[in-house]
Structure formats: structure tokens, C-alpha cells
Structure 1
Amino acid sequence: MDAPIRLPSLFLSHGSPMLAVQDSPAGRFLDGLGQQLPWPKAIVVASAHFTTAQPTVGAHAQPDTVHDFGGFPPELYALRYPAPGAPDLAATIAQRLHDAGIPARIRDQHGLDHGVWVPLRRMYPQADIPVVPLSVLPHGDAAQHVAIGRALAPLRTHGVLVLGSGGFVHNLGELDWRHADAPLTPWAAEFAQWMRDKLEARDVDALIDWQSQAPHARRAHPTVEHLMPLFVALGAGGEDASVRTLHRSHEFGSLALDAFAFE
């Protein structure tokens, strides 16, 4: 009998949809990341671009590639990520959430938004690993998302990669679109460093209270959906998980693209 495969949970910052095709530090990092991990049997992705009022799990057997963005080059809209879905795993996830006291829904006809397929296309370009999308709650809080992740933590011992895809600092209104390589602005750097310090210290209480404690919290995340995948990944790592920084880079002055593993 094969030994159990235990995977970390991951948080990845996916940045602009151009990450799918452009050469960048974040893109090159993702290109090598899949080969550094045990090969997953399936992948669950909590995406900042799948938002619902209550946790919802995509259960399409052959999910479409969703181009949920506008104003980008035509080559981006021609891309497809034809990974299969996993309806049985989706049902298992919904049941685990229900058993944890978290009502969840299954959505049979749901595709893969760019928060899912953009990083996966670089990590696993062969697109042959089943993928299950999981929503985040734009009106929920960090504690709710940690609880969602903890309900999914046992899946990691069965070869399932639990991945949160969002943005470490994400304020599109303050990006310097003319200068992709602009230095990280002081306010974004201060917020990012506070988050890194609390993650490295495993100060979950402070992280859950990030909106009150972190400097420039509202400026770093005017809406919360891009940070909530971090808390799903944090919860899925388990209560005693270590935190490993996988990547740091930034674009356009304030788009921080940190990535972490919880294991």
C-alpha cells in the first residue's frame, strides 16, 4: 500500500491575469513550484474571484475556463485550462464543512475563474489534476475563513492540495500602472511586514484581528476578498503548522505578491 501523501496548504498571490503569460519573478516562481511539492491527487482552490454569501463548492465534472476580466490582450482570452473537476471531492468538502457547523452549497455548473487557472496553468501546465473551486465570503471575516480551512485540513493527508489564491496587498485604485517595477510604497510595505511578522510568529489571534491591528489595513485591502484565501490556507495548515515563506515580489508600486506554505 502506498504511504499517505501529506501536502502543505498554500497561499499564492495571483496578481494581474497577465501572470498567465508574462515573464516575471512571480511567474517564474510558480513555474517551479509544482515540481517542488508532492504530486497532488486533486487541488482545492479558494479563490478571491469566487465570492458568495455562504461557502460554495464547484462540482462541475469538466469546468470551463472563465475569463472574468476585461481590457487585456486577445492572447489571454484564447487560453484554456481544461483540468477535470472532481464532483465526489466537492461533495466531500461540502460534507466536511457541514460537519464543522458551516453550511455549504454545491454548485454543479461552475467554471474556473482566473484566480484558479492562472496560477495552476504555471504550476501544473499539463492540466490533468482534478480541480475543485471553493468560494470566499466577501462579507465574512478572517475567523470564518480559518474555520473553513480547518475543516479541510484532513484532506491534506489524502493527497489533496488546499490552495488559497488572492493577493497579499491588493488595492487596484492605488497601483502605478505605468511602472511595473516601481518600489513598494511605504504604506504597502508596512502592512505586508506586519502580516509577515504575525504569520512567522503564528499569532493567529492578531491575524484574525488584522483589520483593527495591522497598519494601513483598509488601504491595503479596501475590500477583503483577496486576503480571505490566506486565512483558508492558514486554517488548512492545522493549529500547529509551521509557516514557510515561498516567495516575495511586488508590482506596480503596491501589489504585494507574497506566497506561503503551511505545513
Structure 2
Amino acid sequence: MPLPPVHFFSHGSTMMLGEESRSATYWKKCGDAALAANIKGVIMMGAHWDARGANRIDVAMHPSPAKSPVAYVHPSKYVDYKLNPDLKTGKRCVEFLNRSGFDARPNETFDWIHDTYLILIRMFPSGCPPTTIISMNGRFDPHLHARVGAALAPLRKENYLFIGTGGAVHNLYRNHWWQMLRYSDNFAQPVPPESSLLEFRQSIEDVFVRNTRSKDRSALRRAVTRLMKHPLFRDAHGTDDHFMAACFVAGIIDGTEGGEGEECELGAEDWELVNMCNSQFTIGKW
């Protein structure tokens, strides 16, 4: 049986849940493929939840989580969608992480945020598969988050689908909000994106596409974590949180046995709010 692919998805603004886009179409295509392959469940790291403390990672274990409200999206798009927390797999994830030296803890009070359930609704509109959400660590160390991915990578062989949801270019301070606030148009491009953001967008595509074909399994991890030293990283990411999921994904690929030479596809892309680039990457295929 082939290994499930691993996704790094840029979830963009909240309006990506309410508006149709190339990314939304691609997310649905990936979800259909996962269901056809009879996945055991989904394991995700998002960009809006971090655990405080050195080496600490939380795993969502709320049996009936609520959904945080989504701004600029009609409630009908998400309020009735039933979440499906996978507590059994969550417990296993805590065990895997603790064995790898993390201070991993179950979190029984965490309610899910749009960065994860936006993707789930788009991928699996007919029903949420069993899903486990892994927190970030609040110190935003790229190497630590890659090690989190590597620690959980053995579950990929059990037909779990791993998803990191963050952003390729995600700097809210550089976004143009007026068209969305005035006209509810998040895809308006009255001017081109800034050149520095176009340059970083190209760098992240080069890193994913060119380093997944290497026989060196650590090539992607080294390249992704090195992007945080890119001279334009801070232009593209005003904060570090939306980049940690990329490091998590790189660690999964690094820690997967038997996945050498998997290729990466840039499956879809949308520019939002002038300067936010939502690139959708898939490594491997069914």
C-alpha cells in the first residue's frame, strides 16, 4: 500500500471558508482522494494554537469541542459541521511525543479554531473524519517543530493523513484589508503584490519542489528551517506561527521510512488581500 501524501496547506483568511477559489477546489480533490484510500484518520498541526513552556506540545483531547467563530463568513458555512475528535489516536500521539523527549500533554479544554476546521470542511464537506490536532510550541523553534513531525511520522504507515495548515506568505501587517471590509472581496488585486513577497513565495516553492526529490531524507527539513533565515522572511511572515506547520511537514517527510524520492506538487494557489499568498503543497501521492 502506498504511503499517504502529506499536505502543507495555506489556509489564508477566514473568507477562504466562505468564498470559492482554486485552493478550495484543490482541498476538495485531496479530501476525495483520501476518502477513496480509506484513511484511518487525520493528524493536523495548525497555526493558531501553541503550548507555553520549554519543549511542551499539547494534543487536543476535548471529546466535544466547540468551534471558534469565523469572521466575515456566514454561520451557515460552518456552525452545523460536526467535528470528530479522535481521542484514541490523540492518546497515541501523546505517547509517541513523550517517548521522543517532548513534554506532551493531553488538553481536554481546547476548542477548535478555523485554521484547522476550515480545511476539514473544505476537504470533507460530507463529514469530518477522525481528527487529531497537535499544538505548536510557543517558542516557535523551527527545528523543534520538525522533530515533532519526525516523532509522529511512523503513524503515516498506518494510513493516517498528515496536514500542516499555515501560510506560504502570511503577514497580516502587509495585507490590504479595505476591499474585504468594504466589498467582501478578499481576492481583489487593485495593485500587484509587493516584490519582496513575490520573491519569498518563489523561494518557498523552490524549497518544497526541489528538495523532495532528493535521496537525502533530511534535505527538505534543512531547507525549510533555513527559510527562517531568508532575508525576506520577516516581510513574508510578520509572526512565526504560520510557518511552523511547514517545519512540521518537513519533519514528517524526514522521519518517514520508505518515502525517499517522493515528489512535491504545487496543487493550487490564490493571492488574497493583495499580499497574502495561499500556496497548497502535496508531497507524495496515493
The alignment's TM-score, normalised by the length of structure 1, stands at 0.90
Q: What's the counterpart of residue 199 of structure 1?
A: 208
Aligned equivalent of 1:181, options 175, 188, 195:
188
Q: Distance in 2 between matches of 1:242 and 1:78?
A: 33
> Which runs of 5 or more residues in structure 2 are unaligned?
180-186, 212-218
1:46 counterpart = 2:45: yes
SS in 2 for 1:237: helix
RMSD (Å), alpha carbons: 2.0
Aligned equivalent of 2:247, options 206, 220, 231:
231
Change over 3 Å in CA distance of 1:181–1:233 after alignment to 2: same
Aligned equivalent of 1:56, options 49, 52, 58:
58
> Which runs of 5 or more residues in structure 1 are unaligned?
none
Q: What's the counterpart of residue 82 of structure 2?
A: 82
- Residue by residue over 1:167-198, the C-alpha shift from the partner in whole angstroms, topping out at 9 and shown as x without a partner, is 11111111122452323321111011112212
Q: What's the counterpart of residue 253 of structure 1?
A: 274
Q: Distance in 2 between matches of 1:78 and 1:147?
A: 33
- Residue by residue over 1:196-240, the C-alpha shift from the partner in whole angstroms, topping out at 9 and shown as x without a partner, is 21222324323212222x231111112111011111112112353
Contact 1:190 1:215 in 2 (8 A): no
Q: Distance in 2 between matches of 1:181 and 1:262?
A: 30
Q: Distance in 1 between matches of 2:155 and 2:80?
A: 27
Shift of 1:76: 6.1
Change over 3 Å in CA distance of 1:39–1:18 after alignment to 2: farther
Q: Distance in 2 between matches of 1:172 and 1:156?
A: 33
Contact 2:224 2:250 in 1 (8 A): no
User: How many residues get paired?
Assistant: 257
Q: Identity of paired residues, percent?
A: 24
Shift of 1:96: 0.7
Counterpart mapping for 1:8-19 below 5 A: 8-19=5-16
Q: What's the counterpart of residue 262 of structure 1?
A: 283
Shift of 1:78: 5.9
Query: Which segment drifts farther, 146-155 or 57-66?
Result: 57-66
SS in 2 for 1:91: helix
Q: Distance in 1 between matches of 2:9 and 2:83?
A: 19
Shift of 1:74: 4.5
Change over 3 Å in CA distance of 1:122–1:78 after alignment to 2: closer
